[in-house]
Homo-oligomer: A and B are copies of this chain.
Amino acid sequence: MGSETQPRFGDVAHLGHVELLTPTPNESLAFFTSVVGLHETARAGESVYLRAWGDYERHTLKLTAHRTSGLGHMGLRVRDDDTLHRLVAGLEAHGSRGNWIDDPAHGRAYSFQTPDGHAVELYWETQRFIATPDLATAFKNLPQRYVPRGIAPRRLDHLNILAREVPPTRQFFQARLGLRLTEQIVYDDGTETGAWLSATNKSYDVAITKDRSDARGRLHHFTYAMDSREDVLRAADVLRDAGIPIETGPHKHTIGQTFFLYCFEPGGNRFEIGSGGYLILDPDWKPVVWTEAERAKGQAWGLQTVSTFHTHGTPPIEST
């Protein structure tokens, strides 16, 4: 296997979609449409496909009825078709036992697992959202007009998975998929408890944090992005009046500089509304390493990380 199979930064273009499992599909759907304000674009089998007003693909959230909560799979769109085959060749050369599938929602894809057991689909073919006349916009560089319903985030932003051991899964995203490590938490005893990786100029697209349970393949949270921090504050009002408890925030993460709030969708999965962060332009970015002492200082302005943040993942441990 030649050097051509070595993934480079940019081979994975972006996080395309998240398939979320929910044991309460009706309630979850009502939450994501009425409260969050996502748009339904299709239904098939046990799944409903949703997207935010600024998402260019036909779906960024696939909501699937299931016995448990958790992550169905994450979809990562690649740079082009050649890159897809090159990445798959590398994955297989390094022992990945995935398989090609034809996902009716976006096309041909290669399905495999992270070392911790999260399902991933790599894909190039996709289906773009074409606005119907009532959603068309004078701003031709946007896929549709802004529709102020509920929180109305602009786009899917990132995904945070849990892993029993962070390093192997983190190295997998770096070595096999070309993502860039941007920030890390390394405790005094050398344990890596968190890693943030990016496929773009954003400060992160995929985060991996340590699962303190014995479970595998769990989800910590996924995130849709607002245009401004003021929008996140407004979202907090919407959640409050919708009777959705906010787990923590709004506040600013020290890591990634993103302004955040977390809540739980009715199916039990943690959901984040975020904004901001910083752009990484430096092609030679040195990962920022945070110590145990620094983490003990809490978030950016001193808010202590809530204990549920260290324990709650989906599916819950008892159902794994």
Interface residues of A (CB under 8 A from B): 8-10, 13-14, 37, 54, 56, 77-80, 137-142, 145-146, 148-152, 155, 182-183, 200-203, 227-231, 233-234, 236-241, 245-246, 249-252, 254-257, 259, 261, 276, 278-279, 281-284, 288, 290, 294, 300-302
Contacts and interface: CB of A to CB of B under 8 A. Distances in A.
B255 A146 contact: no
A247 to B, nearest CB: 8
25 contacts: A8-B10, A14-B281, A78-B283, A79-B283, A139-B254, A141-B183, A141-B203, A141-B257, A141-B278, A142-B257, A146-B238, A148-B151, A148-B152, A148-B238, A200-B201, A201-B201, A229-B229, A229-B233, A233-B259, A236-B252, A236-B301, A237-B300, A237-B301, A249-B301, A250-B251
A276 B227 contact: yes
Contacts of A140: 288, 290, 294
A55 to B, nearest CB: 9
- Give the interface SS of chain A, mostly helix, strand, loop or mixed: loop
Contacts of A139: 237, 240-241, 254, 257, 300
B13 A281 contact: yes
A142 B257 CA distance: 9
Contact of A278 (B54, B80, B250, B257): B54
